[in-house]
Amino acid sequence: MAFLTDRKRATGWGAAKSGTEHFWAMKKSSVALLVLIPFFVFTFGGILGSSFEEVQAYYARPFPAIIAALTLIVGFKHFNDGFQVLIEDYVHGIWEKILILGMTCISYGAAAVGVFAIAKMAL
């Protein structure tokens, strides 16, 4: 092990040892949102301004409910990953861990509330 150069020891690890995985996760969620957002806009735009009963009947159909739920899940996951990068770049020490944990709880909690609301309307 003593005969390895610094470059050989560092090859493939990156700065934080997980930068490439995080980058690809953000790219995958970006492409998913690129497809989901137009579907969501077209499905949600048609029912916008309708009464509660009409909206509930509309989201009882599977396609609009699935599109809305997927958009919420992927959108909040993408938001959480992006905010985590922002925190890692500008906050250090114990506050970095606290803010990442708090934002993860808020993001997944908001996604769960949204999916629960859609499921309640759909069922």
The DSSP result for 7-50, as a single string, is HHHHTTTTTTS-HHHHHHHHHHHHHHHHHHHHHHHHHHHTTTT-
CATH of domain 19-122: 1.20.1300.10
CA 10 to centroid of chain Cα atoms: 30
Nearest to 81 by CA among 9, 10, 11, 23: 23
Domain ranges of the chain: 19-122
pLDDT of 2 reads 66
Rounded (5°) CA angle 99-102-107: 120
pLDDT of res. 51: 94
Whether the Cβ atoms of residue 118 and residue 69 lie closer than 8 Å to each other: yes
Confidence (pLDDT) at 5: 77
What pLDDT, on the 0 to 100 scale, is given for residue 21? 84
pLDDT in tens, the chain (123 residues): 567 777 777 666 656 556 788 889 999 999 999 999 999 999 998 899 999 999 999 999 999 999 999 999 999 999 999 999 999 999 999 999 999 999 999 999 999 999 999 999 988
Query: Which pLDDT belongs to residue 76?
Result: 97
Q: Is the pTM of this model over 0.85?
A: no
Helix (H, G, I), strand (E, B) or coil at 4: coil
